[in-house]
Amino acid sequence: MSTLAGRVALVTGASQGIGRACALALAEAGATVALCARNEAKLAEVAAEIKAAGGVAHPFALDLGSEESIQACAKAVIAQLGKVEILVNNAGITRDTLTLRMKRRDWDDVLATNLTGAFLMTQAVMGSMLKARWGRIINITSVVGETGQAGQANYAASKAGLIGLTRSLARELASRTITVNAVAPGYIETAMTAVLTDEQRTAMTLQIPLARAGTARDIASAVAFLASEEAGYITGHTLNVNGGMYMG
């Protein structure tokens, strides 16, 4: 059923992993999807995959570390597709190391992309939602934004910041029928976790009551629900999708 027919969604980091899965799920639900990321070749592949399945998607270049790129991307999407009603702030980077060894650049790059980038993209498309008096903003945070993680002070801070941003925006935008929520993945099989050793994977899985790693589709299904009309009375919420790894 095309529950999002006629809606326009923008997904950052849509070239792979969770972002790609979110784009596919939103397109399956009937939305026209703006695919935004740095790797234009991969975006073209995702767009072709969506079109082959009968959906509609368009690639747009985006570097979340650049305010100019964010503004240009948002303008291009609205100019071509007419509006943005659903925003999925998914793109993120890591620069893992212990705090004692962390360089200022490692801190700044992660915060600039993961948190400031999400803020600037939200700000850039917010006017379209306010005009329509309807919108869905979904921020992809992380379990480590709730629990903390040794060696990831920058990443955990950026993801915790997204939760605070989510709650603040939810209060600001509720009167215009714009909901703002976050999805917090746990251990998910993506390119970002592919670098883990077998021992690390085993140790991680032992912390999960459901005894398995999650998939990008698990996250995408949560995002598609929060983007739907059925989730219209949910705002300011962080939905944990982690197999029970963290219950808080």
pTM above 0.75, yes or no: yes
User: Is 149:99 a contact under the CB 8 Å cutoff?
Assistant: no
Residues ≥6 apart with Cβ < 8 Å to 177: 133, 134, 135, 232
Residue-level pLDDT at 161: 98
Residue-level pLDDT at 151: 95
Where exactly are the structural domains of the chain? 8-188+215-239
CA nearest 140: which of 186, 177, 95, 179?
Answer: 186
Distance CA 29, CA 228 (A): 9
Q: Which two tokens stand for residue 133?
A: 């008096």
Q: Please name the helix (run of DSSP H) or strand (run of DSSP E) that holds residue 206, with its range, or none.
A: helix 198-206
Specify the fold of 8-188+215-239. Rossmann fold (3.40.50)
- For the chain, residues with pLDDT lower than 50 are 1
Q: What is the dihedral of CA 12, 35, 216, 155, to 10 degrees?
A: -20
Residue-level pLDDT at 109: 97
Distance CA 160, CA 170 (A): 16
User: Is 184:237 a contact under the CB 8 Å cutoff?
Assistant: no
Distance CA 207, CA 136 (A): 32
Residue-level pLDDT at 192: 67
Locate the DSSP E strands across 78-126: 86-89
- Residue 246 annotated to the active site: no
* Helix, strand, coil abundance in the chain, percent, nearest 5: 50, 15, 35
CA nearest 238: which of 220, 224, 229, 226?
Answer: 226
pLDDT tens readout for residues 116-142: 999 999 999 999 999 999 999 999 999
User: Is 236:180 a contact under the CB 8 Å cutoff?
Assistant: yes
